[in-house]
Amino acid sequence: MGYWRGLVPLSLHTGNGVRLVKEATKRVNEKDPMAYSTLAWLYESGMFIAQDINHAISLHKEFLALDVELPKSSVTAAHEELAKLYKIQQNWLAVSDHAQYVFDNTTFEFNKKYAAQLIKIAQDKLVEEGHSKH
């Protein structure tokens, strides 16, 4: 089936993501690293599938745990997505941890600034709740 990621714009254009969800799920089950972010995005957004933040988180964590060499930029992007998802859940310790990874490893100033903002928000929330990061 050609380049499967072409199903993303096709699905957005037609409004039908059945093939995209099926193919991304199949590829995640086959441990294809490129499929995890697509399927996680679908679960996060609720596009073409029931929204499930916990499943999106689990997909990003599975991606990070794959026993293959992953590009550093993909690993950093997964940590950024995890920080965003944990922010939705108000899991401030996890937000801080994943945002710190992004801050320490990104090569892009925009991502570094965003990570610093997330770290500050998380630390402020932890203080409000009477916790500290460590």
User: How do the pLDDT tens digits run along the chain, 134 residues long?
Assistant: 447 778 888 888 888 889 999 999 999 999 999 999 999 999 999 999 999 999 999 999 999 999 999 999 999 999 999 999 999 999 999 999 999 999 999 999 999 999 999 999 999 999 998 875 44
- Cα–Cα distance measured from residue 20 to residue 12, given in angstroms and rounded to the nearest whole number: 10
Half-sphere exposure of 34 (CA within 13 A, CB side): 6
- Residue 39, token pair as written in the block: 């399927």
Instruction: Give the global pTM.
Output: 0.88
Alpha carbon distances (Å) from 34 to 8, 54, 60: 13, 20, 11
